[in-house]
């Protein structure tokens, strides 16, 4: 039973938060603390329904009396959402504490919220380390499947063997801040920005220099992307980073954390989806493409 839901002020945990596709065929084929919940810097309003898999993860704010946007996510099956594990922390929060909104360009515009029946956090996600410890990935099972349409559809997952090269141009979307401490203004239109992938070695070097530590900050299950003035920012955690391959959008990353929004030396850090495709496939009944 959900009872006594906590208030949400800046964020859920008191942190300083920051074309139609077929069913994916993947399963039939074989630090120095920054800030979590990174939004879109240097982006533009999304025109039309280019990202029908984008969802908004909501948590009830008792003070405001509404289901408030806390994180992004992506629809990978009519009944399953992919997001970041730190978006559904602490672990004792029950599934009924959350709602999911699909098929929306402008936040809170004619909400039709879907209840969450189950949360599956990756077992290697360490709540004490949060996003910086890696395995920042979770699955949400909805109480009932959503109806697919032009406005609500699925994103394909990559094969686990896919290598995402440095300088590959990809897109990140969300309703997060448009700069440090600058929330997305009404009417809260979904933002998009094209960003380059940054190799893990280069990315790790930047973060190590900043932390003055020899420890590896960017782990193998992380992926970096972004450039000066083009990045994700607060309140976009859990949202998708997608790239175009052979005329198909593939989700290669989940917005996880960064140090400063749009800083030239600190690309955004994403959960590398290819590292977790086998785990996803153990839980989600993804169907082969026709």
Q: Determine contact, residues 5/25, Cβ cutoff 8 Å.
A: no
Q: Determine contact, residues 270/223, Cβ cutoff 8 Å.
A: yes
Residue with tokens 């996803």, as numbered in its chain? 280
User: Side-chain half-sphere of 37: how many Cα atoms within 13 Å?
Assistant: 27
Angle in degrees, CA 117, 122, 124, rounded to 5: 150
What residues contact residue 198 under an 8 Å CB cut-off, 6+ apart? 166, 224, 225, 226, 267
Concerning whether 263 is annotated as a catalytic residue, the answer is: no
Tell how strand 191-198 and strand 169-174 pair up.
Answer: antiparallel
C-alpha 120 chain-centroid distance:
15
Q: Determine contact, residues 155/21, Cβ cutoff 8 Å.
A: yes
User: Side-chain half-sphere of 166: how many Cα atoms within 13 Å?
Assistant: 8
Closest CA to 79 of 97, 95, 91: 95
What residues contact residue 69 under an 8 Å CB cut-off, 6+ apart? 56, 57, 58, 107, 108, 175, 188, 235
Concerning whether 177 is annotated as a catalytic residue, the answer is: no
Cis peptide before 187 (omega within 30 of 0): yes
75: β partners? 81
> What letter does residue 251 receive in the DSSP assignment?
E
Find the catalytic residue in 86, 122, 206, 263. Answer: 86
Concerning whether 122 is annotated as a catalytic residue, the answer is: no
Find the catalytic residue in 237, 256, 258, 259. Answer: 237
- Residue positions annotated with a catalytic role: 86, 136, 237
């Amino acid at each position: 039973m959900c009872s006594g839901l906590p208030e949400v002020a800046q964020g859920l945990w008191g942190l300083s938060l920051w074309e139609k596709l077929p069913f994916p065929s993947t399963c039939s084929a074989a630090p120095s603390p920054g800030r979590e919940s990174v939004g879109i810097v240097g982006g533009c309003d999304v025109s039309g329904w280019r990202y029908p898999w984008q969802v908004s993860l909501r948590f009830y704010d008792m003070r405001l009396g509404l289901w408030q946007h806390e994180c992004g996510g992506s629809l990978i099956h009519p009944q399953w959402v992919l997001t970041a594990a730190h978006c559904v922390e602490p672990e004792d929060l029950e599934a009924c504490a959350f709602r999911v909104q699909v098929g929306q360009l402008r936040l809170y515009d004619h909400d039709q919220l879907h209840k969450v029946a189950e949360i599956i956090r990756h077992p290697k996600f360490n709540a004490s380390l949060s996003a910086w410890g890696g395995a920042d990935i979770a699955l949400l099972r909805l109480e009932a499947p959503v109806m697919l349409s032009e406005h609500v559809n699925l994103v394909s997952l990559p094969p686990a063997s896919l290598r995402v090269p440095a300088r590959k141009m990809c897109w990140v979307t969300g309703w997060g801040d448009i700069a440090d401490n600058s929330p997305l203004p009404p009417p809260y239109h979904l933002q998009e920005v094209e960003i380059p992938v940054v190799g893990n070695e280069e990315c790790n070097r930047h973060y190590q220099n900043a932390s003055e530590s020899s420890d590896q900050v960017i782990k193998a299950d992380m992926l970096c992307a972004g450039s000066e003035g083009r990045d994700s920012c607060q309140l976009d955690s859990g949202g998708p980073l997608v790239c175009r391959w052979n005329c198909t959008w593939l989700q290669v990353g989940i917005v996880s954390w960064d140090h400063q929004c749009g800083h030239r030396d600190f690309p955004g850090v994403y959960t590398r989806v290819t590292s977790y495709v086998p785990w996803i496939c153990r839980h989600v009944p993804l169907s082969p493409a026709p």
